[in-house]
Structure 1
Amino acid sequence: MSSLDALITLRKTLHQNPELSNQEEATAVRILNEFQSFSPDEIVTDLGGTGLAFVFNGTDSGPTTLIRSELDALPIEETNTFKHRSQVKGVSHKCGHDGHMSIVTALGAELAKFRPQKGRVVLCFQPAEETGMGAIQVVNDVRFAALKPDYAFALHNYPGLELGKVAVRAGTFNCASRGMIIHLKGKTSHAAHPENGISPANVMCNIIQELSALPSKIVDQGIEGRHWVTVVHAKLGEVAFGTSPGDAVVMVTLRSETNEGMQMLIEQAEAFSQSVAKSENLGISFEYEDVFQASVNSQEGCDRIVSACETTQTPCLLLDEPMRWSEDFGQFTATAKEGAMFALGAGQTSPQLHNPDYDFPDALIPIGRDLFLDIIRQLNGFKKMTL
């Protein structure tokens, strides 16, 4: 599996057979089968659901370095027509996790030949990154305590950035985000006598208007960073011209560069919504989905990535601002002492992530592998150098 051709074949097989979050049983079996020939010192299966961890031990004492990949795909119908297109209707690898898995599998092939000198390396394949649940499930698994890393690293391919170029920064790398669902409950009435009911129409409109303006108010209160509230859906009553509506739903995406900013967004969004609902005698409740913490890079973690770029002669860009998209890798860096995620350019002409015509560039497999190998070399050494 160490040859690039074999890794590309694996990537395309994974691409053809995508599975949704927390349904990645067959994907996990494929990865497990690949790693059998690498003879890891320890294998953990069903980690946080369908997750896997492969441990490679050194002979001397040293840190535990964890490298993470994702197993899941997206509920998107692929429009590509190449031979390795998805064979599963309505599901496809439109975030490049097939490529990420191939990169980390390439690490396993190298560690099979050259064990770390000190400490240990854990190659982790987590479920359900797309829903924000997978990393939480993994770190909350009782068996993860024995794998707890001192350092954690991951990459994500990034369309729009020059092919093979790294982008990284210390501090927040990915924003915190969550989907907020606001349920309003009133009372229906005949449309000829709306005064006999309790319509949520005005409250729904007020909530949409106020929450859309909330980010600027957060900044005025001294909360650092950037914040966004995006209304993604709203529904008022049912389509019935004879009935005044009795319920409504508003869905918004909250996003912030910091976990503190996210908490303030939640508190103020809920407080305003409760207040305006109460003023018109409406019941109100809240739900949250797709919850992501901010992914925060440590300074040392960032420095290790920059050093790996220098060693491998990979161009590197230090970002001034965090990426606005979200990632659940922050659960690992919150657990580890040090660590970082970086973006690896997928090309300036590549379709964007989650586009139906996106496909992971195979040229990134050896680049990602060599960057991770150098990070491992820095922290754990090798019994025989691979770079």
Structure 2
Amino acid sequence: MNVIDSIVTQAASIAAVRRDIHAHPELCFEEVRTADVVAQKLTEWGIPIHRGLGKTGVVGIVRGRDGGASGRAIGLRADMDALPMQEFNTFAHASQHPGKMHACGHDGHTAMLLAAAQHFAKHRNFDGTVYLIFQPAEEGGGGARVMIEDGLFEQFPMQAVFGMHNWPGMPVGTLAVSPGPVMASSNEFKITIRGKGGHAALPHTGIDPVPIACQMVQAFQTIISRNKKPVDAGVISVTMIHAGEASNVVPDSCELQGTVRTFTIEVLDLIEKRMKQVAEHTCAAHEATCEFEFVRNYPPTVNSAAEAEFARKVMAGIVGEAHVLVQEPTMGAEDFAFMLQAKPGAYCFIANGEGAHREMGHGGGPCTLHNPSYDFNDDLIPLGATYWVRLAEEWLSAPAA
């Protein structure tokens, strides 16, 4: 593995920063302390910063040996926010804030980009500019979208942008990237069925919304099996059904909620259209009505082919071809998708292992994302930072497309 020696030397100090961030998790758009830590480190290393995009976002500006005169620029993004969940770990760097936890490794993502920044500050082995994007609010807040709306790409023009996420279950020392969709769109729906309540012993005098809801849930799955092409991925999950207050009362209404995941906007359009039709016509068949709400949160994360292939070659130069895996698409969602809608780029995975790296005092659960026993693997810091450095250096030295 060809990691950069100077990054390895500084890895322990960066790991200490990571653990400090882990111990002080902050939720979306509340990352004030985390942003202060990032800004302090970048300033300490002589890297100019810009704050305030996306409320708590930080952008570091690293000019190359030409002072950025070439006009070429690349963006490297790390997310900073934590999750609203209770941590089970009791080791020394466990969360000090009840109900908040870095259970997705964003503390590690921040640390890897900081390690790369420290190297960039001393070794500007490139022409052009590297923008270090420390983004808030990935976990449901759409921080990437907000940073873009606040002028990220206008204030910091770049030709490409790249992101990285740790991936538990893959063996440490491996990386994964592929062209095309790698994470799904994330969407939510709420359907309120309006019937007519009454006595449970006299169902003929009312309009019972519960069996209507049951028919609707079953019918939604025929959209997946009979309306879309079998080769197109899509998931409809009804995750909540709320109705009634007493066992002998037919309720007036029933509420369904859930999520839809797709890899393309076309399939998403189809599913939303058909769900609305199914909901309205199922209700009409039973003389009921409904209110249909559908919210599109994050679009699919789609890697551009050229940038994904470029990233793969950089990875191969670091860990060898055998350790660069095909990136299996996942139905999880990621707001880096908004950046990839605006700019070419690629979103990759870095293996976090199975959890053996966790110290004594970790929770009894597995080391998977969004799990209360999760912890980022600090051994990844040199590899992740080396990837960022080599990616930027080689991309800025390559002929412009």
Task: Give the Cα separation in 2 of the matches to 1:280 and 1:29.
Answer: 58
Q: CA-atom RMSD, angstroms? A: 2.1
Question: 251, 265, 269: which one pairs with 2:275?
Answer: 269
Contact 1:182 1:251 (C-alpha < 8 Å) held by counterparts: yes
Q: In structure 1, the residue corresponding to 2:86 is in which secondary structure?
A: coil
Letter of the 1:372 partner, please give it.
W
For residues 202-238 of structure 1, what are the alpha-carbon distances to aligned partners after superposition, in whole Å with 9 as ceiling and x for unaligned? 221111111133212233xx37521111221111122
Does structure 1 residue 170 correspond to structure 2 residue 203? no
Task: Give the Cα separation in 2 of the matches to 1:310 and 1:364.
Answer: 16
Letter of the 1:197 partner, please give it.
G
Task: Give the Cα separation in 2 of the matches to 1:304 and 1:82.
Answer: 39
Contact 1:132 1:290 (C-alpha < 8 Å) held by counterparts: no
Q: Which runs of 5+ in 2 are unaligned?
A: 1-5, 356-365
For residues 133-155 of structure 1, what are the alpha-carbon distances to aligned partners after superposition, in whole Å with 9 as ceiling and x for unaligned? 11111111135422243111111
Q: Which sits farther off after the overlay, 154-163 or 130-139?
A: 130-139
Deviation at 1:343, TM superposition (A): 0.7
Q: Which sits farther off after the overlay, 53-62 or 86-95?
A: 53-62
Q: TM-score, normalised by structure 1?
A: 0.91
Task: Give the Cα separation in 2 of the matches to 1:101 and 1:376.
Answer: 17
Deviation at 1:381, TM superposition (A): 4.5
Q: TM-score, normalised by structure 2?
A: 0.88
Q: 1:32 to 1:218 in 2, by over 3 A?
A: farther
Task: Give the Cα separation in 2 of the matches to 1:63 and 1:259.
Answer: 31
Letter of the 2:381 partner, please give it.
I
Does structure 1 residue 198 correspond to structure 2 residue 204? no
Deviation at 1:158, TM superposition (A): 0.6
Q: In structure 1, the residue corresponding to 2:81 is in which secondary structure?
A: coil
Q: Which sits farther off after the overlay, 172-181 or 152-161?
A: 172-181
Q: In structure 2, the residue corresponding to 1:228 is in which secondary structure?
A: strand
The residue number in structure 2 matching 1:146 is 155
> Aligned pair count?
376
Map 1:11-90 → 2, pairs under 5 A? 11-41=18-48, 43-58=49-64, 59=66, 60-90=69-99
Q: In structure 2, the residue corresponding to 1:270 is in which secondary structure?
A: helix
Percent identity between matched residues is: 30
Map 1:92-111 → 2, pairs under 5 A? 92-111=101-120
Q: 1:48 to 1:281 in 2, by over 3 A?
A: farther
Map 1:1-387 → 2, pairs under 5 A? 3-41=10-48, 43-58=49-64, 59=66, 60-115=69-124, 117-131=126-140, 133-219=142-228, 222=229, 224-238=231-245, 240-288=246-294, 291-314=297-320, 315-319=323-327, 321-336=328-343, 338-349=344-355, 351-381=367-397
Contact 1:184 1:200 (C-alpha < 8 Å) held by counterparts: yes
For residues 183-207 of structure 1, what are the alpha-carbon distances to aligned partners after superposition, in whole Å with 9 as ceiling and x for unaligned? 2223333434444433211221111
Task: Give the Cα separation in 2 of the matches to 1:289 and 1:50.
Answer: 25
For residues 33-92 of structure 1, what are the alpha-carbon distances to aligned partners after superposition, in whole Å with 9 as ceiling and x for unaligned? 111112224x22121221111112232314221111111111121111211111111110
The residue number in structure 2 matching 1:385 is none
Task: Give the Cα separation in 2 of the matches to 1:318 and 1:63.
Answer: 29
Contact 1:131 1:290 (C-alpha < 8 Å) held by counterparts: no
Q: 1:77 to 1:289 in 2, by over 3 A?
A: farther
Task: Give the Cα separation in 2 of the matches to 1:373 and 1:141.
Answer: 27
The residue number in structure 1 matching 2:361 is none
Q: Which runs of 5+ in 1 are unaligned?
A: 383-387
Task: Give the Cα separation in 2 of the matches to 1:150 and 1:282.
Answer: 53
Deviation at 1:116, TM superposition (A): 5.6
Q: In structure 1, the residue corresponding to 2:315 is in which secondary structure?
A: helix
